[in-house]
Amino acid sequence: MAKNDEEGTVAKVKAQEEGLRAIYKNVFIALKAIDRSKYSLERLTRLDSSLAPPEEIAFEKLVAVLKALLGSSSGDRIQIEEFTSERSEQGKSVWQLVNEELKKLGLDYGDLYTFVNEKGWAGKG
């Protein structure tokens, strides 16, 4: 992707901060309510270190969390894919919730991927 395209995608994601924060709030609620007995201590520690209260989380990390729920690579700083099937208050899986709500904002996985790469939250290449 050309540098100008990447900058445009970063701006596009940033312009949707309010909507992305709303999505994250629903994700945060769902993931804080999981049955913790289903997961290993290592996975729970990784999840807990990835999340922060919606009013406190940095925007770049918030986007990295949403992206990680849709898919991640070994270079990503946040690895929480094993929690994608957890149910949100809306009755949807966390993955489905994120995917559908992103579409409503005119965003997709590729936009989040570009953003987290540019902001240093994912491995390049």
pLDDT per position as a tens digit, 31-82 = 999 999 999 999 999 999 999 999 999 999 999 999 999 998 777 789 899 9
Residue 93 bridge partners (DSSP) = 87
Q: List the domain boundaries for the chain.
A: 3-117
State residue 108's pLDDT score.
Answer: 96
State residue 3's pLDDT score.
Answer: 64
**Mean pLDDT for the chain overall:** 92
Q: Cβ atoms within 10 A of the Cβ of 61, count?
A: 19
Is the pLDDT assigned to residue 26 strictly greater than 90?
yes
Q: How confident is the model at residue 2 (pLDDT cuts 50, 70, 90)?
A: low
Which residue's structure tokens are 């994700």?
27
* Under 8 Å between Cβ of 50 and 121: no
* Under 8 Å between Cβ of 51 and 79: no
DSSP string for 85-112 = TSBPTTSSBHHHHHHHHHHHTT--HHHH
Q: What is the pTM of this model?
A: 0.91
Q: How confident is the model at residue 4 (pLDDT cuts 50, 70, 90)?
A: low
The phi and psi torsions of 89 (rounded to 5 degrees) equal -60, -25
